[in-house]
Chain A
Amino acid sequence: MSEITSLSLFELIKNIKEKKISSNEVAKSFIDRSEKSKKLNAYVTENFENCLKLSKDFDNKPNFDLKLPGIPIAVKDLFCTNEVRTTAGSNILNNFVPSYESTVTQNIWNEGGILLGKLNCDEFAMGSSNETSFFGNVQNPIAKDLVPGGSSGGSSSALAASLTPVTIGTDTGGSIRQPASFTGTVGLKPTYGSCSRYGIVAFASSLDQAGPMSKDVKDSSILLEVISSFDKKDSTSIDFKRNNYSSDLTRNIKGIKIGIPKEYRVDGMPDEIESLWKKGIEYAKDCGAEIIDISLPHSSYALPTYYIVAPAEASSNLARYDGVKYGLRSSGESLIDMYEKTRSEGFGEEVKRRIMIGTYVLSSGYYDAYYLKAQKVRQLIKQDFDQAYNKVDAILTPSTPSSAFKIGEKSNDPVSMYLNDIFTVPVNLAGLPGISIPAGTDKNNYPLGLQIIGKPFDEQTVLNIAYSMEEKINYKNNITDWWMQ
C-alpha cells in the first residue's frame, strides 16, 4: 500500500472499513508529517495528543457505519471548537477558548472525524494570501515563498502538503476557491444557507459559507454530505432536500448546458488564463456538455459592490470585540479609552481598514450613497445569474486571474490584492454554489484552477461536472517536500 498520507479520503475510509489500517495509524501518519512540516506554518493550534487518544478510542470501539470513521481532520481556525483555542487568525482572540462547537465541525465529529488541529488563516478571513494572519505567513507547498492563497491559506497549504486528508474552509468572497486554485486542490463553496454558520467566527454574514477542501472531487462530495445540514441555530440556514452527494456523484453529464460568460474576459488577463479557460471548454465538450455563450452584464460591478457590503457587515459583526466579554483587553483610563486601545492593539491593519470602510459606508449621510446603492447593484448581479440559468445548467470560468504570487508581492496595495477575487466574488453576492478544480499550470509550473458555478442548491450538478472534467484533465500536483530539507 502506498503511503497513508498520500491516500485520498475515499481510500482512507475504504482501508479503515476493511481493517487494513487503523484510525490510530492514520492519525500517527498525518501527525508525523505535520511535525516535519512546521516551516509551512499551516497550524495555529495542534491537537495531536488528543487526536491520538481519540483515534485509539475509535479503534477500540470502531463504528464502520459512520461516514468519516476515525478520520483525523484539521480545520480552519475560524470554526469554534469546544475547549480548543479558536483565534480567527487574530491577536484579539489569541487566548479565546470556546465553550461550544460550530455546527459544521460537530457534524464532522458526529460522523467519526477527529480534530487534528486548527489551521492558519487571514485575520477574520479578511485577505487573499494569508498574509494578514497574526500568526504569520503560510508557505505554499508548491514552491518556497509563494502564498497559499487566502483566507483559507493554512487549510490549502496543509491539504496540498498532505498534513490532513481533507479540510474545511470558509468562503466570503473566494476564500475557499482561490486558495484551492493556488495549491492545485479542490475547493467548494456551497449555496448560501447549505452549511450552518453557527459557531463560525463571523465576517460578512450575508456572504459567509463553509465548505469542503480536498485533493479530488469525490472527497469533496463525501465531506459536503457530512457538513451540509439544516440548523435551527442559524437563522439563514435553509431547509431543503440535500442529496447524498457522494453516492449520487456521476460522470454522466451528457447534454448538460454550460455557459461561458463573455464578461469574464477581463482586461489584462494573462494569456495562460485565457488558454486554460479554452482548454476547459474543450474538456467540458469532451465530457458531453453543450457549450453556450452567455452574458453576465454586471460582472465588473461585483468587486466594488463586495467592497461595500462585506466591510459594512464586518464593521457591524466586529463591534463585539470590545475587551469585555472575551478576548484581548488593553488597559485604558475610561471605558471608551479601553475599547479604543483594545481594538487598536487587537486588530491588524487589514481588519482595521475594513472596519473603517464599513463604518464609513454605514455612517449617517453616506448610507444611501454606498450601502443601499451596493445592495441594489447586488440585486442586478443576482438577476444576471437568474437570467443565465434560464438557458444553462452551470457556468464555467477561470477561478483566479493569476497563479499564486510571492509573499509580500501585493501586500502594500489593497486594491491589487482585492482583484484576486474578481471571478469568485460574484458567486458569493448571488449566493450560488461554486467549485474550483485544478486544471493546469502556468509557465512557472504553478497550479491554475477552473471554476464551475451552479444553480442555487444544485451542488450535485456542480460536483458532477467537476468530477467528469477532473478525469479528462488528469491534473497531478508536483510536491517535492522542499520544506523538509
Chain B
Amino acid sequence: MTIDLKTVKHISKLARISLEEKKAEKLADDMNSIFEFIEKLNELKTENVEPLTSIAETTLRFREDKITSNNIREKILKNSPEKNDDFFVVPKVVE
C-alpha cells in the first residue's frame, strides 16, 4: 500500500495542520517508509485475540459530582492568546 499526495493532504485537513506542497511530498515519503515497517503486523493472525486497550486492569472510578475548585476563571484565562474579561476570543465563525 502506498500513501499518495492526495491522501496526505486529506489527512492534514483532518489533523488541522496546513501543509506546503513541498513538505507534503516529504511527509508522504516518510509515511510510506513508516507504514512499510508497520505492515509487518499483517504476518500475525489475530481473529480470536481480544484487543488490549488499557494495561491498568481496573474499572474506572466514580467520584462525587461536586465542585472541587472555585474562582479559577482568571487562572484558566491567563494563558489564552486572546481573551476579553470573561471569555476566550476566536476569529468570527458566523457571517
Interface residues of A (CB under 8 A from B): 95-97, 99, 192-193, 206, 232, 235-236, 238, 298, 300-301, 303-305, 307-308, 315, 319, 322-329, 332-341, 343-344, 347, 352-353, 355-357, 359-360, 363, 370, 372-380, 382, 414-415, 418, 430-431
Partner of B31, one of A95, A341, A357, A372: A357
Q: Is the CB of B80 within 8 A of A324?
A: yes
* CB-based A-B contact count at 8 angstroms: 157
B residues near A323, Cβ cutoff 8 Å: 81
A residues near B16, Cβ cutoff 8 Å: 319, 322, 336, 339-340, 343
Q: Is the CB of B40 within 8 A of A356?
A: no
Interface residues of B (CB under 8 A from A): 3, 7-8, 11-12, 14-19, 27, 30-31, 33-34, 37-44, 46, 49-56, 58, 60-61, 63, 72, 75-76, 78-82, 88, 90-93
Partner of B55, one of A206, A304, A357, A374: A206
A residues near B82, Cβ cutoff 8 Å: 329
B residues near A356, Cβ cutoff 8 Å: 8, 11-12, 15, 17, 27, 31
| Complex: A414 Cα to B30 Cα, angstroms | 7
| Complex: A124 Cα to B50 Cα, angstroms | 30
| Complex: A415 Cα to B35 Cα, angstroms | 10
Q: Is the CB of A340 within 8 A of B18?
A: yes
| Complex: A323 Cα to B49 Cα, angstroms | 41
A residues near B91, Cβ cutoff 8 Å: 332-335, 337-338
Q: Is the CB of A304 within 8 A of B37?
A: yes
Could you give 5 example pairs across A and B, Cβ below 8 Å?
A: A300-B40, A326-B79, A328-B81, A344-B18, A356-B27
Q: Is the CB of B81 within 8 A of A372?
A: no
B residues near A376, Cβ cutoff 8 Å: 46, 49-52
Contact A344:B90 (CB < 8 A) given known A193-B56, A238-B56, A373-B46: no
Q: Is the CB of A359 within 8 A of B15?
A: yes
CB distance from B69 to the nearest CB of A (A): 9
Q: Is the CB of A327 within 8 A of B81?
A: yes
